Amino acid sequence: MSKKLNIGLFGFGVVGQGLYDITVSRHLNLEFKKIAIKDPSKKRTLPQELFTTDKWEILNNPEINTIIELINDAEAAYEIVTYALKNGKNVVSANKKMIANHLEELVAIQHEYGTSLLYEGAVCGSIPIIRNLEEYYDNELLYAVSGIFNGSSNYILSKVFNENQTYDAALKKAQDLGFAETDPLLDVGGYDSKYKVTIAAAHAYGLFVNPDDILNIGIQNLQTSDLQYAREKGQKIKLVPVAKKQNDNEVSIYVLPKLVKKEDFLFNVENEYNGVSVQAAFADQQFFFGKGAGGHPTGAAVFSDISALRYDYRYEYKKTLIEEKVTFNNEEILQVYLRFNQEDLVEKLPFIDIEERYSSREYHYVIGSIKLSDIIEAKDLILSDGAFIADTGNLVAPTHITIEALLQSENI
């Protein structure tokens, strides 16, 4: 039998309102006791007595047994979540930055205090990828988890690529619709996607990684010439985070714009939709598709976590319990497209080989192979002078990884 949840909600923005809309349409054994907000003068649809600006009115209320955290401030979210977990309250959060930066610590707190933190809404909106990695793929051998994890950047690319809108116009529209963060660089710079793939990697591989160690290059430097190159190849450009096994016990993680072929599932993922591809040893390739931004899609994921807490559900982090742990590195070799203005940029980058060169009065590009760690070293140089796009065909499992080797390395 399910238990009653007395909820304290932090944040009543787009997602908070979406969650409330979903909740009141259902007749479940739960009740919103208090909602913490920043601006008490703002007109709201609910009775004024339901709101508070004092976080302690929620955190120290003995009646409240469940905290829902839906605020933008990662540090404030961390204080709320850790205090709640340490004081016997279960938590649902959608704050990907806070979770990615503190995940290993948050897992330890849950184990120590016997509380549960769920965060399906933090990764890819309405797509239940965390629960699937936890449950369906708990004993599966995964080669790669990748996809479109950010609805805002995908919306912008869709409008620019398919409708010839300007980048600025598409970005403003995304912000007006509530898809984009207040600081657009979080979305278009690949930071949002990086936090999400960091979380996904923990459930896919049992790997806790500092997001600062993960490469992210976004779409903010793309120009018409880059879009034209993709069109000539019959491809599209998508911002794609990747967590990928390189050999038996090493995983690389990065976020880059990627050239996507027509046969790729991601080719037809447009606007604010997300798509997650899981490449597995036994299940082969599987694809998850759904809305990754907006109040109701993200609210639906949060609501799913709330429902699960009624039955005392918690993540088990099964991949972290495997005896032979995987490690994170940046040694993968990628085939890339580099568009640049200054002739000497290519000479400054340690390309392993260059397959194609193009030069014109307006711009230049090369297609070549380069190590991921070398891209990281040259990131600032690249962003100051051009655009960087991962070429197609680099997400297939390396041929030297065998199922037998993975079985042995993971002791399954």
Residues assigned a catalytic role = 196
CA distances from 228 to 225, 240, 269, 295, 339 (A): 5, 19, 19, 34, 12
The continuous run of DSSP H or E covering 388 comes out as strand 386-390
Length, in residues, of the chain: 412
The tokens for 336 are 């890339």
Least Cα distance to 388 among 247, 256, 255 occurs for 256
- Residue 240, Cα to own-chain centre: how many angstroms? 10
**Nearest 5°: phi and psi at 238?**
-130, 150
Return the beta strands (E) in 89-172 as ranges: 90-93, 117-118, 142-148
368 contacts 355 by C-beta, under 8 angstroms: yes
The two tokens of residue 385 are 């002078």
Helix pair angle (224-232, 151-163), 10° resolution: 70
Q: What is the DSSP string of 313-380?
A: -----GGGG-SS--EE----EEEEEEEESSTTHHHHS--SEEEEEEE-SS-EEEEEEEEHHHHHHTHH
Q: Are 252 and 246 in contact (CB under 8 A)?
A: yes
| CA 26/CA 407 separation, integer angstroms | 44
Identify the sign of the CA torsion 207, 212, 216, 219: positive
